[in-house]
Amino acid sequence: MMGAASPRLARTSLMVAIIIAAGIGLYSWSLDRLYLVHDEVIYALNAHAIATTGRDLSGQFLPISFPVVGTFFATPMNIYFTALFLQWAPPTEVIVRLPSVVVGVACVGLVFLIGRRVFKTDALALLAAAILALTPAHFIHSRLGTDHLYTVVLMLAWLLCLLEVTNDRQLWRIGVASALLGLGVYSYLGALITMPVCFVITLVTLHRMGFRSRQPYLAAALGFVLPILPFLAWHLLHPDQYARQIQMYGLYDSGRLGPAAGAKQLASYASVVNRVSVYWDYFNPSLLFFAGDTGLINGTRYAGVFLWPLMVLLPAGLYRLAVQQRSRAAWLLVTCMAASPLAATLVAERYRINRALVMLPLAALVATAGAEMLFTARRPVWRAVAIALIALMPLQFAGFYRDYFVAYPARSYSWFEYNIRGGMEEVIARHGGVASPIFIANNIQWADYYWPFYLAKQGRQDLHARTTYLDLAVPGASESVPPGGILLCRAADVEAMKAAGLRELRAIIEPDGSQSFAVMRR
């Protein structure tokens, strides 16, 4: 038995290694092609602060929750993971996005392992992994230094553990599966919905497996609750955070309503009707296969969330799993897929795939089931259809990939806060010593976060003390810029600054040739 297992283990390890290598190669190329969006910068600054001082930007020592802007609190997992990378390298676009690449590739690897468990063949498992790797939305989010993908990897790890449970004596395996869900509350805010739902699915799965003793359920509950305890303790010590998070997502007016009244409002007829509509729209073919996310950060509008072949493979897979098969794995995949938009539904945000990323790997597995159904059909024409659909995927992905690096930057730069990077790095390069105070127009949104980031990137944190944020709308504000002083301003303010006696050193240009900022000097 050990002899039979070793070659299989070796083969599996080799396949996983190949998948990881291919994934890293595909996903990590030119990570700095797109500008950083402000979320990435804020997370990176916090990660850098943790890596260098052990404290976040507000001074908290190894916090569980990171206050970022206004009423928004960030979950810690991606920040601490990024901090690990920043232990060894300075903060750059590549370094702050590399953790997401690792997480994204890990998801692909986990899908391969789950696929082997579900489909019992390496070929179909590889297909599932390939489908996820070539999923446009997964590619996009594996290259953003944000936290959305962390729930996905934990959910996949949970799924794999749960599928490995074969009897009610494997309490450790049940506990680990649930613990992964408990850890999920630290991954992304949406996990506060997703993970409890997955926990309920765990309990139902155990029941469907015929487990009647209490131990498996206790193991599951303990596994789920233990990791959450620090999270609960934190919220007890910071009681206003809950209300501010509610306010942030507009669930109800937490200033006026308590939790019970707020829950009642959420359960009102109008609220339920609206959320049912939002939930339904997350399965809209227009979103999934054509238009993608409404924003140009989470989508390119060149492709949908998934590639076109999944228009056929996904329904075929749902039919295969929900109707033809009645296995535990089939039930789990379909149920989890149905539950995947619940977090997005609660906040009633339509067509925001970043809030439902757990759908992606589940869809890859379901689509593989669809391919399996076509491959095993009696008529050869269906096998030909399956081959054609699979062959179409890399072709369409190639088009998406090319657009992502060539035309997409020009379409999306305004969503990524414009070429602040170019402006700030130019200011740093042009800085001429103590006699060159630095001024940054305060109408450049998020400049107070980007500037420390680019100073850290260039190792010029010393310039922060010489920086002033200037309100150019105030009459005479430009007079504050002394001779030799450098100003970074918006392109719209250039003429006024020229009239005030400053000289434009460099126009900061976007991919489409338009100017967004200017570096000026008196």
Partner 1 sequence: MHRGNLSRMLAVSAAAIVVFVVYSWRLHDSPVYLTADEIVIGLEAHSLANTGHDLRGRWLPLYFQIDEFRMKGTTWYQPMIMYGMAAVLKFAALTEWAIRLPAVIAGVLDTILIFFVARAIYGRASIAFAASLLLFLTPAHFIFSRFAMDYIFPLPFLLAWLLALAHYHRRRDPRLVFVATLCLGLGFYSYIAAILLMSIYFVATLWLLWRSAAPGRHYRLAVAGFGLPLLAFAGWLASHQNVVTETIARYDLANPGRLGPVGRVDLYWDFLSPSYLFFNGGSEQMFTARTTGVFLVPMLVLVAFGIYRALRSRSPLDHILILGFLSAPGAAILLDEPFAINRAIEVLPFGVLLAAGALHHGLTATVESPRSWRGWLFAGLVATALIIGVVQWRGFLLDYYGDYRVRSAPLFQGNIEPAIQEILGREPPDRLATVYVAKGLELWWQFYAIKHHRADLLARVVFIEPPDIDRVPAGAFILVSVQSPLGEATAGALSKAGATTVRSVYDIDGARSFAVMQR
> Closer CB to partner 1, residue 188 or residue 351?
351
497, 500, 502, 504 alpha-carbon torsion, rounded to 10°: 40
64: its two tokens: 């569980």
Sign of the Cα torsion 228, 234, 239, 244 reads negative
> What is the C-alpha to C-alpha distance for residues 402 and 413, in angstroms, rounded to an integer?
17
Q: Crossing angle for the helix pair 38-53 and 93-119, nearest 10 degrees?
A: 100
> Closer CB to partner 1, residue 326 or residue 503?
326
The minimum distance between CB 275 and partner 1, in angstroms, equals 8
> Closer CB to partner 1, residue 61 or residue 269?
269
> Closer CB to partner 1, residue 366 or residue 444?
366
> Closer CB to partner 1, residue 72 or residue 290?
290
Amino acid at 504: E
The minimum distance between CB 288 and partner 1, in angstroms, equals 10
The minimum distance between CB 200 and partner 1, in angstroms, equals 19
> Closer CB to partner 1, residue 335 or residue 478?
335
The minimum distance between CB 209 and partner 1, in angstroms, equals 18
The minimum distance between CB 60 and partner 1, in angstroms, equals 42
**Any idea what DSSP says for residue 465?**
G
145: its two tokens: 């230094």
> Closer CB to partner 1, residue 323 or residue 395?
323
The minimum distance between CB 272 and partner 1, in angstroms, equals 7
> Closer CB to partner 1, residue 215 or residue 277?
277
408: its two tokens: 């997409």
Asked if 304 contacts 291 with a C-beta cutoff of 8 angstroms, the reply is yes
The minimum distance between CB 331 and partner 1, in angstroms, equals 13
> At which residue do the structure tokens 């992606």 appear?
360
> Closer CB to partner 1, residue 277 or residue 468?
277
Q: Which residues of 274-296 are buried (b: 16+ CB within 10 A; e: fewer)?
A: ebeebbeebeeeebbbebbbeeb
Q: Could you tell me which residues come within 8 angstroms of residue 347 by beta carbon, excluding any fewer than 6 positions away?
A: 249, 250, 251, 355
The minimum distance between CB 269 and partner 1, in angstroms, equals 8
425, 430, 433, 438 alpha-carbon torsion, rounded to 10°: -60
The minimum distance between CB 378 and partner 1, in angstroms, equals 15
401, 403, 406, 411 alpha-carbon torsion, rounded to 10°: -130
How far from the centroid of its chain's Cα atoms is residue 280's Cα?
Answer: 22
Give me the DSSP letters along 224-270: HHHHHHHHHHHHHHSTHHHHHHHHHHTSS-TTT--HHHHHHHHTSHH
The minimum distance between CB 271 and partner 1, in angstroms, equals 11
SS3 call for 207: helix
> What is the C-alpha to C-alpha distance for residues 442 and 455, in angstroms, rounded to an integer?
17
The minimum distance between CB 273 and partner 1, in angstroms, equals 4
> Closer CB to partner 1, residue 145 or residue 309?
309
Q: Where would I find the beta strands (DSSP E) of 55-191? A: 66-67, 73-74
> What is the C-alpha to C-alpha distance for residues 428 and 452, in angstroms, rounded to an integer?
11
Question: What residues line the site for partner 1 (CB under 8 A)?
Answer: 269, 272-274, 276-277, 280-281, 283-286, 290-291, 319, 322-323
> Closer CB to partner 1, residue 323 or residue 429?
323
Give the residue from 129, 224, 112, 140 showing the smallest Cα distance to 179: 224
